[in-house]
Amino acid sequence: MATKKPTANSVPDSGKDVENIKTESLKPHTANADNEMMTTDHGVKINDDQNTLKAGNRGPSLLEDFIFREKMTHFDHERIPERIVHARGAAAHGVFQVYESQSAITKAGFLNDTSAQTPVFVRFSTVAGSRGSSDLARDVRGFAVKFYTQEGNFDLVGNNMPVFFIQDAMKFPDLIHAVKPEPDNEIPQAASAHDTFWDFISLMPESTHMIMWAMSDRAIPRSYRMMEGFGVHTFRLINEKGESHFVKFHWKPLLGVHSVCWDEAQKISGKDPDFHRRDLWDAIESGNFPEWELGLQVIPEADEHKYDFDLLDPTKLVPEELVPVQRIGKLTLNRNPDNFFAETEQVAFHVGHIVPGIDFTNDPLMQGRLFSYTDTQLIRLGGPNFHEIPINRPVVPVHNNQRDGHMRQTINKGKVAYSPNSLGGGCPFQAGQMDGGFTSYPERIEAHKVRERSRSFFDHFSQARLFFNSQSEVEKQHIIDALSFELGNIQTVAIRERMLFTLSQVEKGLAVKVADALGLDVPTSVDPPLNQSIPADGNPEDFQPVKKKSAVTSSEALSMANTIKDSIATRKIAVLVADGVDGKSLNATKKTLVAAGAVVEIIAPKLGTIQSAEGDVINVDKRLPNAASVFYDAVYIPGGEKSIQALSQKGDAIHFINEAFKHCKPIGADPAAKDLLSKTYIQDKEQPGVVMNSNAKQFAQEFIDAIAQHRFWEREKQSDIPA
């Protein structure tokens, strides 16, 4: 008699043939979610997969939320041994020093002692790619700082963008599952230009603001040293009186904020996927220590509801026009790691590592991170003693009753490992507030336990519009190009249409231009409804985005066009030469560039040395076929008839110049180089950012001024250059 096979949702009948059931149970378990309701791993049906359980819709998340804890625990343990997110990174040691005491707003010691140089370890990273992916992927960059303070470790775990894709941590596993390579074919690596990512985004309008940032040039920085950092969340600062202020943390790079262009990023990925990692290492090794200033946006507790956005919403920023950034101290990275694995790979950051004077808010994304980070380290670093790995150890003594566990290194003396105790004299003692003991801010909370999103979180478009409107015309075009590229890789037309509808809520002209590139019209409505962040039994109409106008319509701080452009420090200059180069001109210009802080490399058709027109020997740094313009910020072509003639016959040299021109980089050339330039797309026309002057001193200064501008984006308006 045939027996019915047990299915994923059925329980084997006790009367069935035991051997058949045993055989069936050994087969691989498969599951198909078509037409099925969502459940926990233990079969309990889930009513709301969009929101964590909170004490009130703006209150803190609750530990009893077993659905969130199960989902996040499983997600945290999905990868062994690399990080699930931020797997690819680079790091360095350094110091932080505050300029003036901040005692009026915080009792944190490292923000008050102006004489103290607090050791730090900083890790930069991409989010989506694996450890072996490219540094130049279009992605968010992690910017995590571990302060080894005299009151314990404080980790400021942020990004190079001030907002995030989601409002509630419940959605983080979904976001990462969507952006990671698609599970059926593990394609594409470290890229968001695929169906699953944009399917998710098109159904999550709260992601719109972050999408504007991710599609901007912020997502392809020139260097870790030239990008901003943000704490993302709203934190609290607490002073000695117990007074609370809300705060947003900023890192402002002293070199300014600069990017590469998309074509350049793709070429760098192929030629040197370690570009950012190498850049950071080389800068520190050469003594060009990267520097940032720590900035604070401080908001009094009484102003919590003052603005047209919610301070607890991680998809929102505080415009600097409303709350200026106060620069209070400087971070300097001055030492490379001794061992990548022991330090960069094993460092364990956690948003929950805070010190007295700093505290949390009820930001639902932050609340989820407070659970997730420790849980992640338990599996990734092998157990509960990851804090004993040297890179994670605080600089102050550790005393508590935690014992044993995998890879325990501390040898605790005595027989007492509990509290209270009398056999150990009551040690270790609890620390009172006067002794520096940490106490949480006594925020008053009265609320019902709910899975809801506060209606103050329902504005998804006003700040996306603010960001787009704040960009220069060039930056706007780059966002349009990026969206056209990403959505152009989407196979499902309905996803493209949903995204076009979302973009039309930000700016009609933006949506029309992207739609034109995709060969589509901008839809006037979408089905299903725009907002999918609703519980199963909720009314979709009650959860649609709220339409608001931002009090600030444009913000200078949001455009990279307004960054620092007064220095060429650490900029890399390629000098194209061959035998017979004008050595006098070369040496004079090189000396001036180096004096201004630039890094100059001599590139010739072959390695070794070349001979100048004057008969001097010049050392060559790079062989032309091994070099590429994408590794440099500017190109210099000195004179010398034989040198120019030789380079004019080298396709690699012509391509090098064409590519630098296409990527809008400064190009300096001796007037004698006209024959070479005539073979490039520069030809003999006057071009923005192309400097030629027979007066050596004037040329050097004009070239330096051009390099300080970083790029001459107006050249992009010219016809495409096939370089």
Q: What is the pLDDT of residues 109-121, one digit of tens each?
A: 999 999 999 999 9
Name residues whose C-beta falls within 8 Å of residue 270's C-beta, 6 or more positions apart in sequence.
Answer: none
533: confidence class by pLDDT, cuts 50, 70, 90: low
- Name the nearest CA neighbour of 95 among 350, 392, 330, 357: 330
Residue 2 clears pLDDT 60, i.e. is over it: no
- Identify the pLDDT of residue 615: 95
Which residue do the tokens 């701080």 mark? Answer: 557
Name residues whose C-beta falls within 8 Å of residue 72's C-beta, 6 or more positions apart in sequence.
Answer: 169, 172, 173, 368, 371, 372, 375
Active site residues: 86, 159
- Identify the pLDDT of residue 209: 98
Residue 576 clears pLDDT 50, i.e. is over it: yes
- Identify the pLDDT of residue 550: 87
Q: Which helix (H) or strand (E) holds 334?
A: strand 326-335
Distance between CA 116 and CA 329 in Å, rounded? 11
Give φ, ψ of 118 to 5 degrees.
-80, 120
- Name the nearest CA neighbour of 710 among 224, 259, 252: 259
In this structure, whether the domain defined by 565-717 belongs to CATH 3.40.50.880 is answered with yes
The CATH number for 58-167+220-314+328-392, chosen from 3.40.50.2000, 2.40.50.140, 1.25.40.80, 2.40.180.10, is 2.40.180.10
Mean pLDDT of 102-107: 98
46/289: higher pLDDT = 289
- Identify the pLDDT of residue 10: 38
pLDDT in tens, 349-390: 999 999 999 999 999 999 999 999 999 999 899 888 999 999
What's the DSSP call for residue 315? T
Let me know how long the chain is. 723
Distance between CA 244 and CA 415 in Å, rounded? 41
For 10, the token pair is 């059925």
Q: What percent of the chain has pLDDT over 70?
A: 94
Residue 140 clears pLDDT 60, i.e. is over it: yes
18/409: higher pLDDT = 409
- Identify the pLDDT of residue 541: 72
Contact between residue 700 and residue 592 where contact means Cβ atoms under 8 Å apart: yes
Residue 510 clears pLDDT 50, i.e. is over it: yes
- For residues 174, 177, 178, 179, the Cα torsion angle rounded to the nearest 10 degrees is 120
- Identify the pLDDT of residue 252: 98
Mean pLDDT of 241-270: 97
pLDDT in tens, 158-217: 999 999 999 999 999 999 999 999 999 999 999 999 999 999 999 999 999 999 999 999
pLDDT in tens, 590-637: 999 999 999 999 999 999 999 999 999 999 999 999 999 999 999 999
Mean pLDDT of 507-528: 94
Domain boundaries of the chain, sorted by first residue? 58-167+220-314+328-392, 565-717
Residue 70 clears pLDDT 70, i.e. is over it: yes
- Identify the pLDDT of residue 36: 83
Residue 719 clears pLDDT 70, i.e. is over it: no
Residue 470 DSSP SS3: helix
- Name the nearest CA neighbour of 222 among 188, 194, 259: 259
- Identify the pLDDT of residue 139: 98
Q: Give alpha helix (H) positions in 326-391.
A: 364-380
Residue 277 DSSP SS3: helix
- Identify the pLDDT of residue 15: 45
For 445, the token pair is 């909370």
Distance between CA 261 and CA 518 in Å, rounded? 21
pTM exceeds 0.85, yes or no: yes
- Identify the pLDDT of residue 237: 98
- Of 145-149, 496-500, 544-548, the one with minimum mean pLDDT is 544-548
- Identify the pLDDT of residue 433: 81
From residue 178, how far is each of 173, 191, 301, 492, 566 by CA, in Å? 8, 11, 37, 15, 41
